[in-house]
Structure 1
Amino acid sequence: MTDKGIATVRAHLAKLPPPESLTLAERRTQYERALRVFPVPEGVKVEETQLGGVPAERLTPGATRGGAVILYLHGGGYCIGSPRSHRHLAAAIAVASEATAVVPDYRLAPEHPFPAALDDAVLTYRALLAEGVAPTQIVIGGDSAGGGLTVAILVALRDAGVPLPAAAVCLSPWTDLTCTAASYDTKASVDPIVRRAGVGEMARAYLAGQDAKTPLASPLFANLRGLPPLVIQVGSDEVLLDDAVALADRAKAAGVPTTLEVWDTMIHVWPWFITLLDEATAAVDAIARFTRPRLHGRAS
């Protein structure tokens, strides 16, 4: 490791205005500024497209193998975020996995509450299959709300009888919209990003009056049997730690091959800070060690 450490990221975050001081429009704009801060890896072709009527970005590295696709679902509490805010992270995972990344610009709450985001994710996946991409060539992944959405789409596809992807990746997944896990309190003092009040507001916007334990909104409460292999990465210093641990426990109990990685001193979705943090690069490399053998049939 070099001196690109978590202290650098914390210092970067400390310079930002508190989220509660911004309007929703301002928060969305702030997230989009990632385009200026975090460059896309060299050689990645960025294309705007539509899949199943859903706007999306297709990120194609210079070296891919066999038509493999990472369907990446961005985070942002279902209220902010876009393919642009997560372009650098999705592209880094694509490069490491020797695959193309597809990042849908799914509809956001409060304008489009549950199940709009899930519906758009399902349409995107079905469109990939219609293009001729085999389900065994697809890994679905996402961070935070996108991590929860990753589990939700797997459940929805299974229930609809649609062939499931080869595997799934969840980064700091938000899986329980009741926002009642103990780590909201025990990790509050060390998490510089997520607060119960903020995610509670986002949960209410997304749910629009529906039960917070609705399984496809809070997949921690879903039947997880029959899902493909799953890797979950979470930081030790984030309030969503318990969401990730509980998801891993429930998935294992349901017979899902599950790997849980708890990264010491890391914060919420630390791989997003890939140009600032060595552990972000290491996490992406770990993801690729999981995705490559499932997409390409080889270890690395």
Structure 2
Amino acid sequence: MPSPVMEAAAELLRHRRARAEALQLTLLQRRAAFEANAELSLAATDVEAEPTVLSGVACDRLNGTAKEGTLLYLHGGGYCVGSPRTHRELAGRLARSANRVGVLPDYRLAPEHPFPAGLEDALAVYRSLCETEGEPPALAGDSAGGGLALALLLRLRDEGRPLPPRVAVLSPWTDLTLGGASMQDRAGRDPYMSKAALAAFAEAYATVGDRERPLVSPLHADLTGLPPMWIEVGSEEVLFDDAARLHDKALAEGVRSTLFVGEGLFHVWQAVPEAPEALAASDRIGAFLAGSST
């Protein structure tokens, strides 16, 4: 059963979703609201962010005294909203748990910059980190950032570049065709995300013809040769099948994969500051990224 903190967060998300739907917010209005709603997590964090620029991409550098390498974290937001500011608390907490320096890029967003702009930015930052650190960073992301992390892995593999040692994806959006059965059968249970909102994000990010491409929808890719994956998803999510199908496909294609299901939880619950479930997730995911768990 979810903790009281999580129950309160779910109720807040239901309220915000109902308001956005009632007001018929545009993507740009949703972006502004998402930034405004970040105040709760910003108030809860003690992560210090140092601005930097890597290969022309503005980034936040987090947890600068860590000793075990770097974590490249790609934020969620449907490829249309979100920023280093909105995800600083979550990315910093995970990086600290893994004892890694976090790097959080401000990659370009749709609709102004549709596919493949965000992927190009992620690749540029990754290559810069490999050059400056002398080794590949670990990789993580949530929601669309999880899908972007997987697309980055595919791009690196296909170009013969060094791969991250491990990747963790939280509630990853892996199928922009919205083909998972959970889009319908969990629609009444998900307090946060809806198929209609995801459809609007998908339309802004990629053309209909591009949405089955592996670099847009990694679920449609051959995953052979990718590094070990840690996948987390809430049991109540419309995106549940995006995570579950990714896990099954990874195992079938020889990729080591672990799927953790948060019972009674919602999309990217790991981002709720100070909730016991989120703190446990930090320890769990951090241990995986640090290489101390399978």
1:50 is aligned to 53
Q: Is the 8 A contact 2:234 2:267 kept in 1?
A: yes
1:65 is aligned to 67
Name the CA shift for 1:2/1:224 in 2 (closer, same or farther; >3 Å).
closer
Give the superposition deviation at 1:34: 4.3
Q: Within 1, Cα distance between the matches of 2:208 and 2:189?
A: 31
Give the superposition deviation at 1:40: 5.5
1:178 is aligned to 177
1:7 is aligned to 7
1:129 is aligned to 130
Q: RMSD of aligned C-alpha atoms?
A: 1.9
1:282 is aligned to 280
Q: Within 1, Cα distance between the matches of 2:262 and 2:225?
A: 27
Q: Within 2, Cα distance between the matches of 1:283 and 1:209?
A: 35
Letter in 2 for 1:274: P
Written as runs of structure 1 = structure 2, the 5 A alignment for 1:1-300 is 4-16=4-16, 18-20=19-21, 21=23, 22-38=25-41, 39=43, 41-42=45-46, 44-60=47-63, 63-66=65-68, 68-135=69-136, 138-275=137-274, 277-293=275-291, 298=292
Counterpart of 1:223 in 2: which secondary structure?
coil
Q: Within 2, Cα distance between the matches of 1:51 and 1:4?
A: 41
Q: Within 2, Cα distance between the matches of 1:133 and 1:230?
A: 22
Q: Within 2, Cα distance between the matches of 1:208 and 1:19?
A: 24
Q: Is the 8 A contact 1:35 1:85 kept in 2?
A: yes
Q: Within 1, Cα distance between the matches of 2:170 and 2:2?
A: 23
Q: Within 2, Cα distance between the matches of 1:36 and 1:140?
A: 25
Letter in 1 for 2:67: R
Q: Within 2, Cα distance between the matches of 1:222 and 1:299?
A: 27
Q: Within 1, Cα distance between the matches of 2:44 and 2:51?
A: 15
Unaligned runs of 5+ residues in structure 1 are none
Deviates more, 1:44-53 or 1:15-24: 15-24
Give the superposition deviation at 1:33: 2.4
Give the superposition deviation at 1:299: 5.6
Q: Is the 8 A contact 1:78 1:206 kept in 2?
A: yes
Deviates more, 1:6-15 or 1:32-41: 32-41
Give the superposition deviation at 1:209: 4.4
Letter in 1 for 2:151: A
Aligned structure 1 segments of 4 or more residues deviating by more than 3 angstroms: 1-5
Counterpart of 1:193 in 2: which secondary structure?
coil
Count the aligned residue pairs: 290
Q: Is the 8 A contact 1:172 1:233 kept in 2?
A: yes
Give the superposition deviation at 1:52: 1.2
Letter in 2 for 1:9: A
Q: Is the 8 A contact 1:4 1:278 kept in 2?
A: no
Q: Within 1, Cα distance between the matches of 2:193 and 2:3?
A: 25
Q: Is the 8 A contact 1:40 1:92 kept in 2?
A: no
Deviates more, 1:28-37 or 1:45-54: 28-37
Letter in 1 for 2:89: H
Give the superposition deviation at 1:12: 1.9
Give the superposition deviation at 1:155: 0.5
Deviates more, 1:168-177 or 1:1-10: 1-10
Q: Is the 8 A contact 2:10 2:192 kept in 1?
A: no
Q: Within 2, Cα distance between the matches of 1:211 and 1:142?
A: 22
Name the CA shift for 1:86/1:189 in 2 (closer, same or farther; >3 Å).
same
Give the superposition deviation at 1:112: 0.6
Q: State the identity as a percent.
A: 45
